[in-house]
Structure 1
């Protein structure tokens, strides 16, 4: 019925027509022989069919069908051929309330009342018959109005549910795309941090080994070992990051991400390449959320990598990580040459990545020349409690 509404509505119209035709045939058969039939078949049959035929298209053109039923049903009602005209009026009213709206339905009711006000007094033989006809018609139309309101509310609710489901599907797709974009951005930051730090260490050590290979072979050998260890560590991290991009390997064991517990190893590695680093940790930071710990580690790593690149010979750095309540204050200060301070904040990928890591947790990050000399990176990362 829902897939083929015209077929279903045609079936309803056909049943009403058959019911009235059977009534007409019964009246004709029971009519006394030898007397003229009061309703000839060539008048009655078209009147019956005309009263119900528009119902086949009631859902496609509800307003037009309703008024066609009202007009074409007048002869049927006047000839008293059955219930088809009243039933068709009620079905049309129900259709208007359900599919069009109360305003059009009310106009149709007023038109029906006006038609009945003219027709019923002329057709009814007594006041009792007139009252019965008025009450019957009013109750039937009232029942169809209430039924139309109920079905219309159900249809509106169903449409709203379908719209919400469609919206939820759209939001889900958008969230999936956002999650993919965020994951790619995170991996890009991770790759930048790993590669930038490893390459900086390797370059510094390679330069030192080149100078010391003839005069200080032991120092050159140590530098080469540092290059080898740094390269292996960078490869391990790169494998971990690239493994995230592979599908079907969820069960594969991967290297844990670095966090605050790895800060000592980071400081020791930077010391081994020629930049003295003092690490001060105040408060308990080992139980921080993994994301916060990784952010702290990457900010310190990027800041020390910049110090290796730009601070110049003889420089040193101080790293201070302090937990105060539900936030962590991070301070990285080096005493390098003022040359780099004159360059100012370049806004490169490293600085942008540090800022993004801080902003992810609703924190702040400032980087710039220190009044006493050197370069300072200061970040505050709230985390909503341990």
Structure 2
């Protein structure tokens, strides 16, 4: 009945018609009442609008009101009274209080006129008012229940939409994080490999030992890059992530290894670490590592031959301070006008990493030449 409400309305109309037909047969046996060819069509017309009460509630209600006048006047059964109550209930539930109140006034006016024409006692009007009041209260209850269910369904739909939106945002953020990680890993590895390959090509005949070390550095750098790329790609493959152990991400404690690889690539790096890097939040520790890695990668690519880099990492009570300075290609890079630059993908990624944890990043040319990157991360000391 709930899945097909029209079926329920049709069954209700047929039930009212069946009762009126029983009244008609009873009157025919007692040889009084209206002829069947008058009563039967009027009975059918009286209950037929009930089948359409949900689709056309207001039209159906006033059609019932009009047909109830001859039906009740000819005393053809309970169809007129029952259909009028159903119409009032339908008006309250599906149309509204204002239209239902106007309909009640019209029904009472018709009832008063019919009682006046028949000289019916006043108790009948009281009964009619009580029945209409009962139908009104029932309609209010059902209408409130339907409104409550509609509100619950709307909220559930809104929650599903918000959940889907949150999922899309999470996916977008994860893709952005993976893109930053891929950029840092690939840019650093390729820069080291290119520098080492160039050095190996020059030293291949004159100093085979240096060429051999360069080729070994290329091999180690490539393996490390492949391992990190495999870890990042596993994030996109849930099944493989559950079956294979994850490779740990680099942290601030791995800065010595990073500086060693850059030194092997041909850029002297002076690393200074003040304070313990252990106990940092994972995101902050990874951010420190990636910012240093990206800065040294830019030194490899843009600083030119003979450049040197200084990396200072200091952990205070409530923050981690990172500074990377190189002295290469000062004149060419000093043409950049402002310290806070839009930058390429690398600089944008460093700034996003810093801002993600409430930090600040500044990058730009040094007054005497070279390039400086300075980042601060607020952090709580672990108890």
TM-score by length of 1: 0.89
What are the within-5 Å matches in structure 2 for residues 296-307 of structure 1? 296-307=288-299
Structure 1: gaps spanning 5 or more residues: 32-36
Q: Does 2:357 align with 1:366?
A: no
Which 4+ runs in 1 deviate beyond 4 A?
383-386
For the 8 Å contact 1:17–1:84, the answer to whether it is kept is yes
Single out whichever of 290-299 and 164-173 deviates more from structure 2.
164-173
For the 8 Å contact 1:50–1:73, the answer to whether it is kept is no
Aligned mate of 2:129, from 134, 138, 142:
138
Aligned mate of 1:251, from 221, 238, 243:
243
- Give the root-mean-square deviation of aligned CA atoms: 2.4
Q: Does 2:5 align with 1:5?
A: yes
Partner SS, residue 3 of structure 1:
coil
Aligned mate of 1:108, from 103, 108, 111:
103
Aligned mate of 1:171, from 162, 172, 175:
162
Q: Does 2:221 align with 1:225?
A: no
CA distance in 2, matches of 1:58, 1:384: 67
Give 1:190 shift.
1.5
Q: Could you tell me which residue of structure 1 aligns to residue 375 of structure 2?
A: 379
Q: Does 2:247 align with 1:235?
A: no
For the 8 Å contact 2:288–2:322, the answer to whether it is kept is yes
Q: Give the number of equivalent residue pairs.
A: 377
CA distance in 2, matches of 1:112, 1:179: 60
Q: Does 2:85 align with 1:94?
A: no
Q: Could you tell me which residue of structure 1 aligns to residue 197 of structure 2?
A: 206
Give 1:292 shift.
2.1
Give 1:308 shift.
1.7
Q: Could you tell me which residue of structure 2 aligns to residue 34 of structure 1?
A: none
Residues 7-61 of structure 1, C-alpha deviation per residue, up to 9 Å, x if partnerless?
A: 3212112222222332343345456xxxxx2544444333433322211111111
Query: Residues 28 and 383 (structure 1 numbering): CA distance in 2 closer, same or farther, change over 3 Å?
Result: farther
CA distance in 1, matches of 2:82, 2:152: 32
Query: Residues 124 and 372 (structure 1 numbering): CA distance in 2 closer, same or farther, change over 3 Å?
Result: farther
Partner SS, residue 261 of structure 1:
helix
Give 1:179 shift.
2.8
Single out whichever of 320-329 and 148-157 deviates more from structure 2.
320-329
Aligned mate of 1:189, from 156, 168, 180:
180
Query: Residues 223 and 41 (structure 1 numbering): CA distance in 2 closer, same or farther, change over 3 Å?
Result: closer
For the 8 Å contact 1:208–1:223, the answer to whether it is kept is yes
For the 8 Å contact 2:334–2:369, the answer to whether it is kept is no
Partner SS, residue 334 of structure 2:
helix
For the 8 Å contact 1:259–1:296, the answer to whether it is kept is yes
Q: Could you tell me which residue of structure 2 aligns to residue 321 of structure 1?
A: 313
TM-score by length of 2: 0.89
Structure 2: gaps spanning 5 or more residues: none
Give 1:184 shift.
2.5
CA distance in 1, matches of 2:4, 2:119: 40
Query: Residues 353 and 168 (structure 1 numbering): CA distance in 2 closer, same or farther, change over 3 Å?
Result: same
Aligned mate of 1:357, from 348, 353, 358:
353
CA distance in 1, matches of 2:287, 2:135: 67
